[in-house]
Amino acid sequence: MKKLVLYTSVDGNTDAVAHAIAERIGADMARLVRVKRVKGFGFFNNLKLRSEVLRHKKPDIFPFKWDPRDYDLIFIGTPVWFDSYNPVYNTLFNVIKIYDRKVALFSCGEKEDTKALTKLSNDWLKESIVLDTKHCVEPIWCDEDSETEAILKDMADWAEKVSERAEKMIEQEELERRKTIYKY
């Protein structure tokens, strides 16, 4: 089973989770990077970014060579931005549609809230099989390193379980396919 961790991150929290997941389950990694960097979060910049999210803007992203459709299981990670997902996903999914793939979504935010993942799923992943979603709160900004490690371990444990489940589903699907073809 081919696995991909697709993610974006500005300050490093989602990046840390993506690495923890990819390392645990042996997945390839793909990071979406916007061309125009986010410079600070002052009043005006915040307004601009909020409008990007609300208006479903498609910020330019650097070109990439991977294709998520080459994978059986795709973990998709995003920082929460204004109760939603990062708009670079509008750019990606506007050109690449993911159909009939198993996906699992994760997010990082300053508070406990899974709205962003519900929106991502509803806006772009209706044709996919969303196996599970999981959110965590800013893992790299914990007071203690042990707290960071615990969050990253929790996310990696979750990903491992999802991956095992996907593997079983794929085995079962293959069995069903053979039954249909060879009638046994």
Summarize as ranges the residues that interact with ligand FMN (CB under 6 A).
9-15, 41, 49, 79-83, 108-111, 113, 138
Beta carbon nearer to ligand FMN, 68 or 109 = 109
Closest approach of Cβ 152 to ligand FMN, in Å?
13
Beta carbon nearer to ligand FMN, 107 or 163 = 107
Beta carbon nearer to ligand FMN, 45 or 172 = 45
Closest approach of Cβ 52 to ligand FMN, in Å?
9
Left (φ > 0), alpha (ψ -120 to 50) or beta: where does 183 sit? left
Side-chain half-sphere exposure of 78, counting CA atoms within 13 A: 26
Closest approach of Cβ 59 to ligand FMN, in Å?
12
Beta carbon nearer to ligand FMN, 12 or 132 = 12
Closest approach of Cβ 71 to ligand FMN, in Å?
21
Q: Give the CA distances from residue 96 to residues 68, 80, 105, 118, 184, in Å, rounded to whole numbers and listed in that order.
A: 8, 22, 17, 19, 37
Q: Give the CA distances from residue 22 to residues 18, 97, 165, 176, in Å, rounded to whole numbers and listed in that order.
A: 6, 22, 16, 29
Residue 32, classed as helix, strand or coil, is: coil
Which residues on adjacent β-strands are paired with residue 3? 73
